[in-house]
Amino acid sequence: MQERYLSQRGPLIPEGTLWAFICQLVTALRAIHALDLACRVVHPLRILWTSPNRIRINCVGVLDVLESDSQKSLGALQQEDITRLGSLILSLATRLPMEHIQRMALPEVLEGIKNAYSVEVVSTKANGAAREWKYCSLDFYSSSLLQICFVVHYHSLLYLKHTNKSFF
Beta bridge partners of 47: 57
- Does 168 map to a domain? no
CATH code for position 136 = 1.10.510.10
21-65: per-residue pLDDT in tens?
988 898 899 889 889 889 999 999 999 988 888 899 998 888 777
Stretches in the chain below the pLDDT threshold 50: 129-142, 167-168
Quick one: which of 162, 94, 34 has its CA closest to 86? 94
DSSP string of 134-151?
--SS--TTTS-HHHHHHH
Any idea what DSSP says for residue 108? H
Question: What's the structural domain count of the chain?
Answer: 1
Tell how many helices (H) and how many strands (E) occur in the chain.
7, 2
Q: What is the 3-state secondary structure (H, E, C) of 43-106?
A: CHHHEEEEECCEEEECCCCHHHHHCCCCCCCHHHHHHHHHHHHHHHHHHHHHCCCHHHHHHCCH
- Residue 126, domain extent: 2-163
Answer whether 0.95 is exceeded by the pTM. Answer: no
